[in-house]
Amino acid sequence: MQSISATHIITSIIKRDIKLALRRGSDTSGVVFFFILVVSLFPLAIGSENKLLMQIAPGVIWVAALLSVMLSLNRLFNDDYQDGVLEQLVLSSCPLEFIVFAKTVAHWCYTGLILLITSPILALQFNLSGESIKVLFLALLIGTPTLSFIGSIGAALTVGLKSSGTLISLLILPLLIPVLILGTLAVDAAISDLPYSVYLYLLIAMGVLSSFFAPLASSHAIRIILD
């Protein structure tokens, strides 16, 4: 009975957070607008040299995706903390680790998933081949959830603090660099017609580890703050 109740709570949290994000609009539109703006400015500034555009494309798109995800992390737990909802969630029958997992999945749905959908269109500006765009899509599909999970640790550590966005960036940016590097290397390998599967496998491994350990660390941080 407890497992059914926990499953119901997790599903409800995911639906609730997505609805709230879409209702506010800024959580999604701001992230998407920033991502599109950053990625689109580079081809305009550099020009139409195909070789150069292809060389910088993986790094530009991945850096833009990373920064876009970080924009909305400060609201992952803070809104519920200000409303008193977070305390009620902690006292619920569902383990806090599952609640954090559900909120992180919801965060990816209204940030990372939108970036994932728009990235192939934006990649056309860099004259990437169909194979390179496919690898970019796969790398973002695997890597962006990891950005949200690792980012949830920083969001949990800064619950209730002012200027939490800046603090989150300082705390988690070093942890996100391996994801950035592996995602960029995967697309670079595809552009150069080299094997890229090893980078995707490493991204998968990081995603699995982060989805397990990040909720544990985040829930521990939330308990300390609320106590």
Digit-coded pLDDT (tens) for 58-108? 999 999 999 999 888 888 888 888 888 888 888 877 889 999 999 999 999
Instruction: Give the structural domain span for 103.
Output: 2-226
Q: What pTM does this model have?
A: 0.91
Tell me what pLDDT residue 225 has: 86
d(CA 36, CA 142): 20
Q: How far is CA 185 from CA 86, 148, 164, 167, in A?
A: 39, 20, 31, 28
Domain count, the chain: 1
Alpha-carbon distance of 186 to 195, in angstroms, equals 8
Per-residue pLDDT of 177-221, as tens digits, reads: 999 999 999 999 999 999 999 999 999 999 999 999 999 999 999
93 burial type by CB count under 10 A (0-12 exposed, 13-18 middle, 19+ buried): exposed
